[in-house]
Amino acid sequence: MAEVRKLKILCLHGYRQDAESFRSKLGSLRKSTKSLAEYVFVTAPLLVNDNERERGWWFSRSDRSFDAQEQSDVSIGLESALELVSNTVEKEGPFDGILGFSQGASFVALVLQLGNKIWGDFDQIRFRFAILFSGFESRNSKHAFGGKIDLPALHVIGKTDKVIPLEQASAFNELFSDVQISEHEGGHFIPSSGNSKRDVIEFMKKFSETA
């Protein structure tokens, strides 16, 4: 029987996290999918409060901080974050999927919306799917790129999330033309068990069969 090729997934952490901490947060999922997927973790380029272990994909305030709830016309560092993703894909790709949590999930949407505008021939690095946890649409006026994201996506939402409320997370779904939604009873975290974890695994398996 032929060996099934593992999916390769690019993973983008949340605000005030880094690759190492996010790898730990995904520990349960990684363990459950070790024969299914390989995960590549990237640390965002922007330091939060000059702390090497706390990073961000962009700042929405002139004091180099970020608030997911605020309307803003300040966008600091997005270009360097996009360049980092581009370089990672060039050096370590191709990737089957892209996965993000919180600000990382929001950044995934920006990467997918910009597509050809960033890399020219986006087909060369096109992802096949996206997995998003506690995502939200950027409220930055400079990020209003418009248009639906034409990529199969799974969005996992915590019903009691106090950081990204259910209404805000649900609005994020409107950015995608093909999105599956999985809700769990918890808050702002990646579920390590239950239906949502199973939904993630089953979603990944759909792409493994055609890898």
Q: What secondary structure, in 3-state letters, does the chain show?
A: CCCCCCEEEEEECCCCECHHHHHHHCHHHHHHCCCCEEEEEECCCEEECCEEEEEECCECCCCCCCCCCCCECCCECHHHHHHHHHHHHHHHCCCCEEEEECHHHHHHHHHHHHCHHHHCCHHHHCCCEEEEECCCCCCEHHHCCCCCECCCEEEEEECCCCCCCHHHHHHHHHHECCEEEEEECCCCCCCCCHHHHHHHHHHHHHHHCCC
Q: Which residues of 64-81 are buried (b: 16+ CB within 10 A; e: fewer)?
A: bebebeeebebbbbbeeb
Tokens linked to 174: 């409107």
Active site residue 155: no
Active site residue 188: yes
Active site residue 184: no
Catalytic one among 102, 134, 138, 196?
A: 102
Catalytic one among 13, 161, 196, 199?
A: 161
Catalytic one among 32, 86, 188, 192?
A: 188
Give the active site residues. Answer: 102, 161, 188
